[in-house]
């Protein structure tokens, strides 16, 4: 272990969308506080640099996925990965946050000492020779912005006969530039956001692309450009236009989510009506685009300008709904007896969720099992001092909640400074609070990992309402000393 002898008031983990936002808020609202951002990879961007597959884009509009403090100024509201990556890096450079980042620093373990009121953080640093060494940082407050899934590997089920396939098999999370699919037969396994992004993009040059799904997902078309937003931006100051559009989109999103929960049959008919309009009366919408669950029991899939539907209409892509029996030398044998021929198989089968980037945590020598903790206000964990985590909404843009989390962390730090406190820890003393799953989604990637995730409680401040307007009231204006957070 090489001790760097470096101490910071706040240590941020992760230089993605959330980490850069955290750095900005700390800089603006906690002036004088020292902080550093530790990033395991070699560049800024997180998700938007990691994923390189064809067509990579956001499935949220950039007026809500963008930062509250930096207007999105490009014409497309549904932006591709490179444009989002440029936006994040531009934000970091404009505010000098890029100079606060230590690349090739992967956090492995964090240990809290109550007598010292500080974290000791063990970090694996990659050296110039390609080796690694362990270094240590200390900090008063640890802010985790490391995302919610494992960067090293995505989820791929065990497929019988996988080794028999003569072509190439690739997971989108491991996409490389040498994958040539021009003129080839491609099968994309999956029906989520990644699959509906890949299929129309690959279909532009592939011989044919088949989206093979075990069950359908709700798919909604939306214009890539927002004409009302572009008109407003042409007539109003950029910041005013941005916030008007942002609130309009937030309001519409909240209304649509609540409508989905209250009148699921009505929303289902509306979504499927749009699909029938896009694909024509002869297409089998019941088989390929009608899920077995209600809208927003899982995330909806967004297709900008209906690109997936257009690829299907043009016969460049098709959808097959069936279960896989086994892989063959030339493709995939299905349980209904049919076979899909393929030169390339893309396993768009999901992510592997993990808590705090897989970091080990102990408090005064006691290992923390986060599955046994309660989530406080969607950002902190019961009986874990001076630590917060940026975790976005499941039913709206990720950054909306992360922005509010950053603001709250700054309020918390400033409150502690004003009163001379060194430690804050959320502790539940209400026996009436019952544990609930932290994510109320039936999606496979959630259900596979939900047992390892922190729980939410049945009452405030342990309850996650997934409601931006309510969180503004609670996190921006609510009391920091609420009787649950203990200071010492």
pLDDT of residue 199: 97
230 occurs within a structural domain: yes
Residues of the chain falling short of pLDDT 50: none
H or E segment at 86?
A: helix 81-94
- Indicate whether 181 and 56 sit together in one domain: no
- Indicate whether 378 and 405 sit together in one domain: yes
Instruction: Return the residue matching tokens 């950053």.
Output: 406
Number of domains in the chain: 2
Is residue 312 left, alpha or beta, with left meaning phi > 0 and alpha meaning psi from -120 to 50? alpha
pLDDT of residue 4: 54
- Indicate whether 373 and 264 sit together in one domain: no
Q: Which of 192, 211, 220, 221 is nearest to 312 (CA)?
A: 211
Q: Per the structure block, which two tokens stand in for 47? A: 């998700």
Instruction: Return the residue matching tokens 């008063």.
Output: 140
- Indicate whether 366 and 430 sit together in one domain: yes
Q: Per the structure block, which two tokens stand in for 310? A: 């257009």
pLDDT of residue 17: 92
156 occurs within a structural domain: no
pLDDT of residue 331: 94
pLDDT of residue 392: 84
Instruction: Return the residue matching tokens 């001092």.
Output: 385
For residue 417, what are the domain limits? 2-151+353-487
H or E segment at 271?
A: helix 264-279
Angle between helices 398-419 and 17-29 (to 10 degrees): 30
Supply the pTM of this predicted model: 0.91
Beta strands 455-457; 435-437: pairing state: antiparallel
Alpha carbons 452 and 449: distance in angstroms, whole number: 6
pLDDT of residue 420: 95
Residue 64, CB-side half-sphere exposure with 13 Å CA sphere: 24
List, in order, residues 6 or more apart from 408 with CB less than 8 Å away.
Answer: 377, 379, 388, 475, 476, 480
157 occurs within a structural domain: no
- Indicate whether 176 and 273 sit together in one domain: yes
Please check whether residue 350 is in contact with residue 192, taking contact to mean a CB–CB distance below 8 angstroms: yes
pLDDT of residue 384: 96
pLDDT of residue 394: 80
- Indicate whether 447 and 429 sit together in one domain: yes
Choosing from 331, 347, 363, the residue where a domain stops is 347
Choosing from 313, 347, 381, the residue where a domain stops is 347
pLDDT of residue 451: 73
CA 95 to chain CA centroid, Å, is: 24
- Indicate whether 288 and 170 sit together in one domain: yes
Q: Residue 183 is part of a domain; what is its CATH number? A: 3.50.50.60
């Amino acid at each position: 272990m090489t001790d760097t002898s470096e101490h910071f008031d706040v240590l941020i983990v992760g230089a993605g969308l959330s980490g850069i936002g955290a750095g900005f808020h700390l800089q603006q609202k906690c002036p004088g506080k020292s902080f550093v951002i530790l990033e395991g990879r070699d560049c800024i961007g997180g998700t938007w640099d990691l994923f390189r597959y064809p067509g990579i884009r956001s499935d949220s509009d950039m007026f809500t996925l963008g930062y509250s403090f930096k207007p999105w100024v490009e014409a497309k509201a549904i932006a591709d990965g490179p444009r989002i990556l440029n936006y994040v890096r531009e934000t970091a450079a404009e505010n000098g946050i890029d100079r606060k980042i230590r690349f090739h620093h992967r956090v492995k373990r964090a240990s809290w000492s109550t007598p010292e009121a500080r974290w000791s953080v063990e970090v694996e640093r990659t050296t110039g020779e390609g080796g690694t060494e362990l270094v240590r940082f200390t900090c008063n407050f640890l802010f985790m912005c490391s995302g919610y899934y494992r960067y090293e590997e995505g989820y791929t089920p065990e497929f019988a006969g996988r080794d028999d396939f003569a072509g190439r098999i690739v997971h989108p999370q491991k996409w490389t530039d040498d994958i040539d699919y021009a003129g080839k037969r491609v099968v994309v396994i999956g029906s989520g956001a990644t699959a509906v992004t890949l299929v129309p993009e690959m279909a532009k040059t592939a011989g044919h692309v088949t989206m093979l799904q075990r069950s359908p997902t709700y798919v909604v078309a939306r214009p890539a450009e927002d004409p009302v937003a572009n008109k407003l931006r042409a007539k109003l100051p950029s910041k005013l236009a941005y916030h008007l559009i942002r609130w309009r989109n937030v309001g519409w999103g909240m209304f649509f989510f609540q409508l989905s929960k209250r009148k699921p049959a009505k929303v289902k008919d509306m979504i499927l009506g749009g699909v029938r309009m896009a694909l024509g009366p002869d297409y089998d919408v019941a088989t390929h685009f009608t899920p077995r669950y209600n809208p927003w029991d899982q995330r909806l899939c967004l297709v900008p300008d209906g690109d997936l539907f257009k690829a299907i209409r043009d016969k460049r892509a098709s959808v097959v709904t069936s279960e896989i029996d086994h892989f063959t030398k030339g493709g995939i044998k299905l349980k209904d007896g049919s076979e899909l021929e393929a030169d390339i198989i893309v396993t768009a089968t999901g992510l592997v969720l993990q808590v705090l980037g897989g970091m080990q945590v102990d408090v005064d020598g006691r290992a923390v099992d986060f599955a046994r903790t309660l989530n406080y206000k969607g950002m902190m964990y019961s009986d874990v001092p001076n630590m917060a985590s940026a975790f976005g909404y499941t039913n709206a843009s990720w950054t909306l909640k992360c922005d509010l989390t950053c603001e709250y962390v700054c309020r918390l730090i400033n409150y502690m400074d004003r009163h001379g406190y060194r430690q804050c820890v959320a502790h539940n003393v209400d026996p009436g609070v019952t544990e609930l799953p932290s994510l109320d989604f039936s999606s496979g990637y959630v259900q596979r990992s939900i047992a390892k995730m922190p729980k939410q409680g049945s009452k405030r401040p342990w309850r996650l309402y997934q409601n931006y307007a309510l969180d503004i009231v609670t996190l921006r204006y609510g009391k920091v000393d609420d009787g649950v957070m203990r200071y010492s």
